[in-house]
Amino acid sequence: MSSKGMKRTVQGATILTITSFIAKILAAMYRVPYQNLVGDAGFYVYQQVYPIYGIAMTLALTGLPMFISKMVVEHETAEEQKVVLRKLFVYITIMSVFLWIGTFFGSEVIAHFMGNAKLQPLIQVSSLSFLLIPPLAILRGTFQGNLYMMPTGVSQVVEQFLRVSIIWLAAYSFAYYGWSIYHTGTVAMSGALVGGLAALVVLLFYNRKAPVVPNFFAMNKVKVSGKNILKRLIFEGGTLSIYSGLLVLMQLVDSFTLKNALVRIGFSETEAQITKGIYDRGQPLVQLGLVIALALSSSFLPTLTKNFVERNKKFFKENVELYLKLTITFSSAATVGLILLLPYVNYTLFEDDKLNAVLSVYLVAIFLMALIQAYQSIFQSKNQFRYPIFAAAVGILLKVLLTYTLTVHFKEFGGSLSTVISLCVTLLLLYFHGKMYKVRFSFLGKIGGSLIGMSLVLFIYHWLVPVNSSRLMTLLLAILGVVLGVIAFVSSLLLFKVYSKGEWLAIPFGKKIVKWFK
C-alpha cells in the first residue's frame, strides 16, 4: 500500500474510533437520567424492548457495513460494484422487510411472551428501525470500502445525539406532565427512528457532496454470482453481525425469560418489573467497560488482515500476541476496577446500591466479551467465519436454555450467571479452536499480580472511605477511586515488567506513562 493510502487508512480508523467512542458514551449514559426520572419500573419498560432496536442498529451500523466495505474493496471496477451492491441491497431489503413484518405484526405475541401486553406499542415503534437497515448499511459500507470514514462517523454521532435527546425529552415529560411509563417508553423508543432518518440524511448529503456510491440500479453487462454473494452475506455478514450484537442477543433472551421467571417464583408483577429494571443497570456499565476493547479491535483488525494477506507470519503472530495481551490487560482492569468501585458507581448513577452482587457478576461480561471480540477479529482477519458462527450459536443456545431455570433457582442472580456461563463457553470454544494464539502463563501471572495490587488499594480505600449519602460526594469518591486504581494498576504493570519497552512504546500514551512513572 502506498504511503498516501496508508495515511488515509490510519486517518479513517482514527476518525471512526473517536466518533464510535462519542456515540458509545451517548448510548450508555442516556440510561442514567432516564432511570432517575422514570424509576426502575419505567427503566424496565424501555429495556425490555431495547434489544429489538439494538439488533437493527447492529445490522445497520457495524455488522453489515463492515461486510459491504469488504465486498466493495474486492470489486475494483464501478460496474462490478454496481452489480454487487444491487444484489446486496435486494437481499438485505428482503431480510429487513421480513424482520419488520415479523416484529410489527407479531408485536402482540412478542409482548405476550415478554409477559406484558402493554409493551406492544413500544415493540411496533422499535420494529420500524428494521426498514432503515438497507440504505444505511449500503451507504456506510460503500463509504468505508472507499476508505471514507467521516460520513459513517458523523452519521453515527448525529443518530445517537437525536435519539438520546428524544429519550431525555420523554423522561422529562414523564416527570413534569404525568405521562405513563408505557407512553413515555413509546415516545423514547421513537427516538431510534428519528435518529436513523437523520443519519440517512447525513449520509445522502455526503454522497451528493462527494459521490462514491454508484447508481446500482443502472443496467450493466457485468455478471456476478448472486448465489455466492448470498452465501457470503449469510456467513461473513452473519458472523460480523452476531458478534457485534452478541450482548444484545443475550439481553433479548433476558427480556423473554427473567421477569417471567421472577413472577413464577412468587414476585408480584410490580416487584418483578422493578427487579428487572435494576438488573438492567449492568448494561450501560458493560458498554462503557468495552469502549477500550472496541478501540483495540478497530486498530488491530486492519493490521492483522494486512499481515495475513501479505503472508507475513512473523508480524501476524507478534501483532496477535500484543493484541491479546492488551485486551487481557485493559479488560481485566476495567472489570475488576468496576466491580470494586460498584458501590460508589451504583449509588452515584442510580441513587441506591441495590443488587450490587448481581451486577458484579454481570460485569464479568466485560472481560469475556473483550476476549471473544479479540478472537473473533483474529479469525475474521484470516477469513474464517463458520466456526465463530458455531461458537456464538452455542453460547446463545446455552443462554436460552439456562436463564429461566437459573432465575427460578437463584432469582435475579441467575440472569447474570447464565450470561457469564454462556459467554465463557463461547470464549472457550474460540480459544481451543485458535489455541495457537495465546499468551504465556508468566504474563497471566504478572497480570494477576497487578490486579491483586490494584484490588488491595481499592479495598483499603473502600474501608477508609465508605459510600457517602450525598450523590455528588459519592461521585467525587468514585472518580478518586478510579484514579487510585489506575495508578496502582499501572505501577504494578511496571513493577512486574509486564510489557517490554518496545511494547510500551507501541501502546497509545505508553511513552508518557513510562516517563511519568519513572
Give the pLDDT of residue 1: 44
Average pLDDT over residues 28-34: 77
Give the pLDDT of residue 76: 66
Q: How far apart are CA 386 and CA 17, in angstroms?
A: 27
Return the number of other C-beta atoms located less than 10 Å from residue 494's C-beta: 16
Q: Binning pLDDT at 50, 70 and 90, where does residue 65 land?
A: confident
Which one has a higher pLDDT value, 79 or 452?
A: 452
Average pLDDT over residues 6-29: 63
Give the pLDDT of residue 99: 94
pLDDT per position as a tens digit, 114-157: 989 999 999 999 999 999 999 999 988 888 777 777 888 888 88
Helix %, strand %, coil % of the chain (to 5): 85, 0, 15
* Torsional sign, CA 469, 473, 475, 476: negative
Give the pLDDT of residue 222: 56
Is 128 a member of any domain? Answer: yes
Is 412 a member of any domain? Answer: no
Cβ contact 414:275 at 8 Å: no
Give the pLDDT of residue 6: 46
Q: How far apart are CA 388 and CA 385, in angstroms?
A: 5
Which one has a higher pLDDT value, 440 or 127?
A: 127
Q: How far apart are CA 93 and CA 131, in angstroms?
A: 8
b/e for 92-116, b at 16 or more Cβ within 10 A? Answer: beebbeebbeebbeebeebbeebbb
202 lies in which domain range? 1-237
Cell of 1: 500500500
Match 443518530 to its residue by C-alpha cell.
159
Give the pLDDT of residue 249: 92
Is 66 a member of any domain? Answer: yes
Q: Binning pLDDT at 50, 70 and 90, where does residue 82 land?
A: confident
Is 223 a member of any domain? Answer: yes
Average pLDDT over residues 170-175: 91
Cell of 270: 410490580
Is 472 a member of any domain? Answer: no
Q: Binning pLDDT at 50, 70 and 90, where does residue 351 land?
A: confident
- Could you give the residue ranges of the DSSP H alpha helices within 434-509? 441-464, 471-495, 501-506
pLDDT per position as a tens digit, 66-80: 888 878 777 767 777
Is 39 a member of any domain? Answer: yes
Which one has a higher pLDDT value, 502 or 498?
A: 498
Cβ contact 203:151 at 8 Å: yes
Helical pair 364-381 and 413-433, crossing angle rounded to 10 deg: 30
Q: What angle do CA 447, 448, 449 make, to 5 degrees?
A: 90
Name the percent of the chain lying above pLDDT 70.
85
Question: What is the largest distance, in Å, between two alpha-carbon atoms of the chain?
Answer: 75
pLDDT per position as a tens digit, 199-224: 999 998 888 876 666 665 555 555 66
Give the pLDDT of residue 506: 62
Average pLDDT over residues 338-353: 86
Q: How far apart are CA 325 and CA 416, in angstroms?
A: 26
Average pLDDT over residues 175-192: 91
Residue 476 has pLDDT above 50, yes or no: yes
pLDDT per position as a tens digit, 359-407: 999 999 999 999 998 888 888 878 788 888 899 999 999 999 999 999 9
Average pLDDT over residues 224-230: 74
Helical pair 282-289 and 313-350, crossing angle rounded to 10 deg: 150
Give the pLDDT of residue 429: 93
Which one has a higher pLDDT value, 392 or 84?
A: 392
Give the pLDDT of residue 169: 92
Return the number of other C-beta atoms located less than 10 Å from residue 487's C-beta: 14
Name the percent of the chain lying above pLDDT 90.
36
Which one has a higher pLDDT value, 463 or 504?
A: 463
Give the pLDDT of residue 117: 92
Q: How far apart are CA 123 and CA 132, in angstroms?
A: 16
Which one has a higher pLDDT value, 193 or 308?
A: 193
Is 222 a member of any domain? Answer: yes
> Which are the contacts of 506, defined by CB distance < 8 A and separation ≥ 6?
322
Per the structure, the count of domains in the chain is 1
Q: How far apart are CA 41 and CA 47, in angstroms?
A: 10
Give the pLDDT of residue 2: 44
Residue 5 has pLDDT above 50, yes or no: no
Q: How far apart are CA 46 and CA 123, in angstroms?
A: 10
Is 346 a member of any domain? Answer: no
Count of alpha carbons within 13 angstroms of residue 456, beta-carbon side = 8
Give the pLDDT of residue 302: 62
Cβ contact 377:299 at 8 Å: no
Q: H or E segment at 508?
A: none
